[in-house]
C-alpha cells in the first residue's frame, strides 16, 4: 500500500498537535499524581490528629484495662467516627484485643494486621493498608494512662484513600475543560506555525527547495566567471569552481574571512572603495583578472557582496576574435556603402548625358582606390593588417576623415610566434579612437605610421582632435573608463595597453591642443623568443 505524500504544512500541524496532546496528557498525569500524594498527606495528618484526640480521652484510658471496657469505649468511638467522617476507629489493648470497631462482631477479637507492633512500643506513625473497604491510611497512637507512665493500648484511625479513578471522577470537569482548552490552543497554534513556516519558505515544499538548490548550484558552478559571495563580515559563504581555479585554492575556504587568504588580499582595497561601478585589474595566482563587486540586498538591506572574477586572458582572446570579425564586417559595410554611392553618381551622370564625365569619374575613383590598395599591398605584407588599414581608410572616407599613411611605412613578414591578431587589436582601436576624436573638428586628419625595424616594431597613430586633458590621461587605460559616457565604452585603450604589455612593448601618449599621438614600440626579439 502506497503511503500518501503529506505536505510540509500538514506534517508540521500533525507534529505540533501530537506534541501538544502529549504535553497536556503528561501534565494531567503529573497533576493527578500530585493531587493523590497531597491528599494522602492531608488524610494522614487528619487521621493522626483524630487518633491523638481519642487517645487523650479519660474514658478510653480508664476502660482499656477493664474486661467490660468495650461497653463504654465502643459508643464513644462510634460517635467520634460518625462526627469526623472517618472509616473506622479501632481501639485495642496491649494484648491486641479490640475494644471498638465499626463492625460489632469484631469487638473482642485480636487485631493482627501486621503493622501494629511499633505502636505497642509507644510509637506514633502512619501506615497504609488495603482492607475490606479499600486502601486506607491508618494512624497508630499509643494510649498512655497514669499521666503517661503506663501504656494501656493503642488507637488506630483509618481513612480511605481515594483512587486515581476517584480523583479523576471528582475533578473530571476541571480536567476535561483544561484538556479541551489546551488541545484547542494546540491545534490553532500548530496550524498558525505551519502557515508561518510555509510563508517564510515562499510556499515551497522541501523537495521543491532541494530541486531549486540543486539547479542553482549547477548553474553557479557552470558559470564562465569566477564568483565569490561574502557576508557583511567579509566571510566567504559561497565560491564556485571557476573562482577556485583562478585563485588556485580549494573549495574548503567557505566560512573563512577574505583577508585571511593571501591570494585575495588585493581584493580588500576594492571592497574598501565601496564603489560597485569600478572594475579593477589584479593578478591572482599568476593570472590577470578583472574584478568588480555588487552589493547583495534583501528588503533594501545590504546582507553581503558578490565578487566577480573575469580571466583577462580569456577576455583578450574574445576581444581579438571580436575585433577581427568586426574589422572585416566594417570593411565590407563601408565598401558596400561607398560602392553604392559611386554607382549612384555614375548612373546620374549617364542619365544627364554626360558619358565622358562618367568615364572620368570612374577612372579617378578607381585610380584613388587602386593607389591606396597598391600602397598597402606593397608596404604591408601581413594580410590581416593590410585589410584592417584598408577598412579604416574606407571608414574614414565615410566619416569625412582623411586617413593618411606615412609613405615610409613598412611591415614585412612577422617573426614566428608573433600574434598578428594582437597587432590588429592595437591598430584597430587606436585608429578608431583617433577617427572619433577628429569628427567635427576643423581639420579632420588621422596619420598612421608602421615601421618594422631590425629589433622592434614601431607604430604611431596621430589625430588633429582637441586632445586629452591631463586628468583623463591618468585614467585613459583604465578598464571601463570613457569620455563618451555611453554603454560598452572604455575597453579599447585598456586592451591596447594590455596587449602591448603582453608583447613586452610600451605605449607612449602625447597630447595637446594640436591633437593626440599614441606611440607603440614592440620588441621583435622578445616576441620571437
Q: Exposed, middle or buried by CB within 10 Å (0-12, 13-18, 19+), for 93?
A: buried
Q: How far apart are CA 489 and CA 432, in angstroms?
A: 12
Q: In what order do the strands lie in the sheet with 88-93?
A: 98-100, 88-93, 150-160, 134-145, 125-131
Of 234, 235, 236, whose CA–CA distance to 226 is shortest?
Answer: 236
Last residue of a domain, one of 279, 314, 349: 314
Residues 6+ apart with CB under 8 A from 363: none
Q: Is residue 126 part of a domain?
A: yes
Q: What are phi and psi of 30, to 5 degrees?
A: -65, -40
Same domain, 290 and 419: no
Q: What are phi and psi of 130, to 5 degrees?
A: -110, 110
Same domain, 523 and 430: yes
Same domain, 79 and 161: yes
Same domain, 15 and 156: yes
Look at residue 80 in the predicted model and tell me its pLDDT. 92
Q: Is residue 377 part of a domain?
A: no
Q: How far apart are CA 292 and CA 278, in angstroms?
A: 6
Look up residue 514 and give its DSSP letter: T
Same domain, 23 and 141: yes
List C-alpha distances in Å: 11 to 6, 24, 186: 6, 20, 14
Same domain, 453 and 523: yes
Look at residue 113 in the predicted model and tell me its pLDDT. 82
Q: Is residue 405 part of a domain?
A: yes
How many degrees, rounded to 5, is the angle at CA 110 between CA 105 and CA 111? 100
Q: Is residue 12 part of a domain?
A: yes
Same domain, 160 and 276: no
List C-alpha distances in Å: 342 to 332, 334, 366, 400: 15, 12, 10, 15
Coil vs helix vs strand at 286: coil
Same domain, 157 and 237: no
Same domain, 270 and 150: no
Look at residue 458 in the predicted model and tell me its pLDDT. 93
Same domain, 162 and 235: no
Look at residue 471 in the predicted model and tell me its pLDDT. 83
Look at residue 474 in the predicted model and tell me its pLDDT. 78
Q: Is residue 484 part of a domain?
A: yes
CATH of the domain at 22: 3.30.450.20
Strand bridging mode 88-93 / 98-100: antiparallel
Q: What is the pLDDT along the chain (529 residues), one digit of tens a residue?
A: 444 567 766 777 777 778 777 877 787 778 777 877 787 888 889 889 999 999 999 999 889 888 888 889 999 999 999 998 888 899 999 999 999 998 888 899 998 888 888 999 999 999 887 766 677 888 999 999 888 788 999 999 988 877 656 655 666 667 677 777 777 777 787 777 777 777 777 777 777 777 877 777 777 777 778 888 888 888 888 888 888 887 777 767 787 887 777 677 767 766 776 666 666 777 777 777 888 778 888 877 888 888 888 876 666 666 555 555 555 565 566 566 666 666 777 777 677 777 677 676 666 766 667 788 888 888 888 888 888 888 888 888 888 899 999 999 998 887 776 767 788 888 988 998 899 888 888 889 999 999 998 888 999 999 998 888 888 877 777 766 666 655 445 677 888 888 888 888 899 999 888 899 999 999 886 443 3
Look at residue 526 in the predicted model and tell me its pLDDT. 46
Look up residue 119 and give its DSSP letter: G
Helix axes 420-438, 492-502, angle to 10 degrees: 150
Please give the full DSSP string across 191-249, using - where no structure is assigned.
HHHHHHHHHHTTT--HHHHHHHHHHHHHHHHH-SSEEEEEETT-BEEEE-HHHHHHHT-
Q: Is residue 59 part of a domain?
A: yes
Q: How far apart are CA 196 and CA 272, in angstroms?
A: 39
List C-alpha distances in Å: 286 to 258, 283, 305: 19, 6, 24
Q: How far apart are CA 366 and CA 384, in angstroms?
A: 23
Q: Which domain holds residue 446?
A: 400-529
Q: Is residue 497 part of a domain?
A: yes
Q: How far apart are CA 116 and CA 47, in angstroms?
A: 15
Last residue of a domain, one of 283, 314, 345: 314
List C-alpha distances in Å: 167 to 36, 183, 404: 7, 22, 113
Q: Exposed, middle or buried by CB within 10 Å (0-12, 13-18, 19+), for 338?
A: middle
Q: How far apart are CA 119 and CA 425, in angstroms?
A: 117
Look up residue 259 and give its DSSP letter: G
Q: What are phi and psi of 298, to 5 degrees?
A: -125, 115
Q: Is residue 55 part of a domain?
A: yes
Same domain, 46 and 163: yes
Look at residue 99 in the predicted model and tell me its pLDDT. 93
The upper half-sphere exposure of residue 412, i.e. CA atoms within 13 Å in the direction of its Cβ, equals 8
Please give the full DSSP string across 161-197, using - where no structure is assigned.
PPPHHHHHHHSHHHHHHHHHHHHHHHHHHHHHHHHHH
Same domain, 48 and 144: yes
Look at residue 528 in the predicted model and tell me its pLDDT. 39
Question: What domain count does the chain have?
Answer: 3
Last residue of a domain, one of 168, 188, 204: 168
Task: Tell me the pTM.
Answer: 0.41
Amino acid at each position: 500500500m502506497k503511503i500518501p505524500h503529506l505536505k510540509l504544512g500538514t506534517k508540521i500541524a500533525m507534529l505540533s498537535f501530537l506534541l501538544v496532546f502529549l504535553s497536556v496528557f503528561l501534565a494531567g498525569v503529573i497533576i493527578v499524581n500530585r493531587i493523590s500524594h497531597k491528599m494522602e498527606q492531608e488524610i494522614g495528618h487528619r487521621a493522626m490528629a483524630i487518633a491523638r484526640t481519642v487517645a487523650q480521652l479519660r474514658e478510653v484510658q480508664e476502660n482499656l484495662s477493664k474486661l467490660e471496657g468495650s461497653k463504654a469505649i465502643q459508643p464513644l468511638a462510634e460517635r467520634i467516627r460518625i462526627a469526623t467522617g472517618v472509616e473506622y476507629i479501632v481501639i485495642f489493648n496491649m494484648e491486641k484485643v479490640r475494644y471498638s470497631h465499626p463492625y460489632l462482631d469484631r469487638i473482642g477479637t485480636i487485631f493482627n494486621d501486621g503493622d501494629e507492633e511499633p505502636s505497642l512500643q509507644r510509637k506514633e506513625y502512619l501506615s497504609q493498608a488495603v482492607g475490606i473497604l479499600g486502601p486506607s491510611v491508618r494512624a497508630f497512637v499509643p494510649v498512655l494512662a497514669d499521666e503517661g507512665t503506663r501504656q494501656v493500648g493503642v488507637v488506630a484511625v483509618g481513612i480511605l484513600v481515594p483512587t486515581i479513578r476517584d480523583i479523576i471522577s471528582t475533578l473530571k470537569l476541571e480536567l476535561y475543560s483544561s484538556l479541551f482548552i489546551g488541545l484547542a490552543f494546540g491545534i490553532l497554534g500548530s496550524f498558525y506555525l505551519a502557515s508561518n513556516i510555509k510563508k517564510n519558505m515562499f510556499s515551497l515544499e522541501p523537495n521543491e527547495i532541494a530541486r531549486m538548490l540543486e539547479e542553482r548550484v549547477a548553474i553557479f558552478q557552470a558559470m564562465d566567471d569566477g564568483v565569490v559571495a561574502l557576508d557583511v563580515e567579509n566571510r566567504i559563504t559561497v565560491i564556485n569552481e571557476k573562482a577556485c581555479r583562478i585563485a588556485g585554492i580549494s573549495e574548503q575556504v567557505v566560512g573563512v574571512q577574505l583577508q585571511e587568504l593571501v591570494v585575495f588580499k588585493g581584493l580588500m582595497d576594492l571592497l574598501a572603495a565601496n564603489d560597485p561601478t569600478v572594475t579593477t585589474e589584479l593578478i591572482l595566482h599568476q593570472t590577470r583578472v578583472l574584478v568588480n563587486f555588487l552589493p547583495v540586498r534583501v528588503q533594501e538591506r545590504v546582507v553581503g557582496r558578490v565578487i566577480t572574477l573575469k580571466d583577462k586572458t580569456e577576455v583578450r582572446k574574445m576581444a581579438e576574435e571580436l575585433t577581427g570579425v568586426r574589422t572585416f564586417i566594417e570593411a565590407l559595410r563601408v565598401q558596400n556603402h561607398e560602392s553604392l554611392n559611386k554607382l549612384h553618381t555614375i548612373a546620374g551622370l549617364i542619365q544627364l548625358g554626360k558619358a565622358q564625365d562618367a568615364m572620368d569619374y570612374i577612372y579617378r575613383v578607381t585610380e584613388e582606390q587602386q593607389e591606396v590598395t597598391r600602397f598597402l599591398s606593397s608596404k604591408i605584407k601581413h594580410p590581416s593588417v593590410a585589410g584592417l588599414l584598408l577598412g579604416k581608410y574606407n571608414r574614414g572616407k565615410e566619416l569625412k576623415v582623411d586617413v593618411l599613411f606615412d609613405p615610409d611605412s613598412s611591415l614585412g613578414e612577422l617573426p614566428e610566434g608573433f600574434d598578428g591578431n594582437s597587432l590588429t587589436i592595437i591598430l584597430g582601436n587606436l585608429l578608431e579612437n583617433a577617427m572619433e576624436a577628429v569628427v567635427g573638428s576643423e581639420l579632420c586628419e588621422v596619420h598612421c605610421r608602421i615601421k618594422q625595424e631590425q629589433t622592434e616594431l614601431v607604430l604611431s597613430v596621430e589625430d588633429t582632435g582637441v586632445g586629452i586633458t591631463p586628468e583623463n590621461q591618468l585614467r585613459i587605460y583604465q578598464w571601463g573608463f570613457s569620455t563618451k559616457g555611453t554603454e560598452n565604452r572604455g575597453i579599447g585603450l585598456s586592451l591596447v595597453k594590455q596587449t602591448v604589455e603582453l608583447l613586452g612593448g610600451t605605449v607612449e601618449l602625447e597630447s595637446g591642443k594640436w591633437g593626440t599621438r599614441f606611440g607603440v614600440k614592440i620588441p621583435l626579439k622578445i616576441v620571437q623568443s
